[in-house]
Chains A and B, each alone.
Chain A
Amino acid sequence: MTVTAPPARGAITAGEPIRLTSVNKTYTTATGPLPVLQDIDLHIETGEFVSLVGPSGCGKSTLLKIIAGLIPFDNGTVHVGEQAPKEGRRDVGFMLQQSVLMPWLSVRENVTLPFAIAREKGSHIAPRVEELLELVGLSHSADMNSWELSGGMQQRVALARTLALDPRVLLMDEPFAALDEFKREHLGLEVTKMHEDMGKTSILVTHSIPEAVMMSDRIIALGARPGRVVGDIRVDLPRPRSAAMIATPEFQDISRQVREALAGEDGSIS
């Protein structure tokens, strides 16, 4: 591995472990308290890729927002690396289902936005942005308006933006859900490859079991609200992963385990 700064493709910024102990979360709503997460214990190792699956409304997004420090939790402890979660942490990147690009900025400017918000200046930013654009395959579209892009390209820009500040922890809330099946698989494989290159600690929320199996080292199944851990399934498929693995008995067996863990939890999962 080359040791150069700033970190380039292939260079590794080590991840950080994530530890949740007995985390509970209850929303206060107009109709009274709504318990959403119950006694969540979750230990994610440095560089591990974990998928969260579970029926709609079981609290997956809530859990991710807690880890990102966007919302408070009721009791228990959460550590991302050595620290408690806090919004605006540079070492945590968050990617949403919607690409949320700024239509008044070009593709390149959208990817530069995190540097601008972090008030980071310097000659290293421009090459870094080009590198990110190349990483997501958008070098040739850098000067396009973001609203001219297809949904898949927009999500690529969002991915590049999420990676801009080189976070150690990557939180992804259904980042491919708005894409069609083909683009979804394609981008999923690319993110898998990126993960294999970069080794960031990653949490992916998804409704797709094949996607979870394909990408993860471990799959956490949450039960219907209030969400609790009902399954913790290790994915022992070799890396690098490839689309060809889907047909293997091992892949099918892991998918079945996830399905069984979720059986009886209402809500649908594809």
Chain B
Amino acid sequence: MTTIQTPPQPAVVRAETVPHTKPKDPLLSRTWVKVGLPLLVLALGVGAWEVASQTGLVNPITVPPASDTFAAMIDLSTKDYFWHAAWITLQETLLGFLIGSTLGLVLGALTGTFAVFRTALWPFIVAIQNTPRVALAPVFLTWFGFGMTSKVVMAAVICFFPVVINTVAGLSSVDANARMLFRTYGATTSQTFFRLTLPTAAPVTFAGIKTALTLALLGAIVGEFVGASEGLGVLVNEFNFQLEVAMGFAVVVYLAVIGLILYALIEWLERRLITWSN
């Protein structure tokens, strides 16, 4: 089959939680091994960190021991200012994600459906996709100020493009034979779109949306680094300035937890919406 136009490749390969290698060792497919082995690695890592810091192998001022970091985490969890900062960052992330991915879906759908849009816009989409968009953070600060808006915009801009690109890739991945099949049944344009194009595009598009959520948190934090009065990024910055590195570490660990929770939620949503494998 010859395709008239080479479809854009998906920018984001569907990232599975565990790489698909066949477990040769039957032991490796046991649940307790699958859970236990990563836990062991975690324990070893944290242990090595603790020992290195306690014995002065690394400077405990700049790399405080794991136990201090853990204590700082407990300490932080009792502080109202921490929860307030976390709430701010979460809002920025989710708002940015919603705005960015919605606009991304719309532009992606237009670009993927109408050749005019594709021809006119594709070069710019590729160009902007390959620009380090975080460099715009200072500009947004000037435009939108120290408040949440500049972070929401940063998050939206950064997560917009993977959604556009994956939506376009998904929409152009419809098999020519499948299109022909729908024609033989006399399907209308809207029937073909809803019964063929949309479900075909969904998995690839959703992979873009997943990436977008991760990127939204990144965008919010970068925005906060560049200039903000509230948020977890601000806390990391301030603790580091005060050489309260353990507190800084603790915030980063909480950021990792937030990132993981968001990822788990979107994975759950994906499993609900996309029940098939292509």
A interface residues (Cβ-Cβ under 8 A, vs B):
68, 70, 87-90, 92-94, 96, 98, 100, 102-104, 113-114, 116-118, 145, 147
Q: A70-B180, A96-B177 are in contact. Are A89 and B186 (CB under 8 A)?
A: yes
Q: Do A94 and B275 touch (CB < 8 A)?
A: no
Q: Do A100 and B178 touch (CB < 8 A)?
A: yes
Q: Do A104 and B185 touch (CB < 8 A)?
A: no
CA distance A90 to B186 in the complex (A): 9
22 A–B contacts from the bound complex (CB under 8 Å)? A68-B184, A70-B180, A70-B183, A88-B183, A88-B184, A89-B186, A93-B184, A94-B180, A94-B184, A96-B177, A96-B180, A100-B181, A102-B178, A103-B276, A103-B277, A104-B274, A113-B185, A116-B195, A117-B186, A117-B191, A145-B276, A147-B276
Q: Do B186 and A103 touch (CB < 8 A)?
A: no
Q: A88-B184, A88-B187 are in contact. Are A117 and B195 (CB under 8 A)?
A: yes
Q: A98-B177, A103-B276, A104-B276 are in contact. Are A70 and B195 (CB under 8 A)?
A: no
Task: Give me the 8 closest cross-chain CB pairs, A-B, nearest first.
Answer: A88-B186, A94-B184, A103-B276, A117-B185, A104-B276, A104-B199, A100-B177, A100-B178
Q: B239 near A: Cβ within 8 Å?
A: no
In the assembled complex, which residues on chain B have CB atoms less than 8 Å from the CB atom of A104? Answer: 199, 202, 274-276
| Cβ-Cβ contact count across A and B, 8 Å cutoff | 56
CA distance A188 to B64 in the complex (A): 73
Q: A103-B276, A104-B276 are in contact. Are A87 and B177 (CB under 8 A)?
A: no
Q: B175 near A: Cβ within 8 Å?
A: yes
In the assembled complex, which residues on chain A have CB atoms less than 8 Å from the CB atom of B49? Answer: none
Q: B142 near A: Cβ within 8 Å?
A: no
Q: Which residue in B180, B182, B199, B274 is a CB contact (below 8 Å) of A117?
A: B182
B interface residues (Cβ-Cβ under 8 A, vs A):
175, 177-178, 180-187, 191, 195-196, 199, 202, 274-278
Q: Do A96 and B187 touch (CB < 8 A)?
A: no
Other than the known A70-B183, A102-B178, what 7 A-B pairs have Cβ atoms closer than 8 Å?
A88-B183, A92-B184, A93-B184, A94-B180, A113-B195, A117-B182, A147-B278
Q: Which residue in B178, B184, B199 is a CB contact (below 8 Å) of A87?
A: B184
CA distance A94 to B180 in the complex (A): 10
In the assembled complex, which residues on chain B have CB atoms less than 8 Å from the CB atom of A145? Answer: 276
Residue from the set A96, A100, A118 with the largest chain B CB neighbour count within 10 Å:
A100
CA distance A114 to B182 in the complex (A): 9
Q: Do A117 and B278 touch (CB < 8 A)?
A: no
Query: Closest residue of chain A to B188, judged by CB?
Result: A117
Query: Closest residue of chain B to A162, judged by CB?
Result: B184
Q: Do A117 and B187 touch (CB < 8 A)?
A: yes
CA distance A96 to B179 in the complex (A): 12
In the assembled complex, which residues on chain B have CB atoms less than 8 Å from the CB atom of A114? Answer: 185
Query: Closest residue of chain A to B187, judged by CB?
Result: A117
In the assembled complex, which residues on chain A have CB atoms less than 8 Å from the CB atom of B178? Answer: 100, 102
CA distance A160 to B148 in the complex (A): 57
Query: Closest residue of chain A to B277, judged by CB?
Result: A147
Output the least CB separation between A143 and chain B (Å): 13
Output the least CB separation between A161 and chain B (Å): 9
In the assembled complex, which residues on chain B have CB atoms less than 8 Å from the CB atom of A93? Answer: 184
Q: Do B185 and A118 touch (CB < 8 A)?
A: yes
In the assembled complex, which residues on chain A have CB atoms less than 8 Å from the CB atom of B276? Answer: 103-104, 145, 147
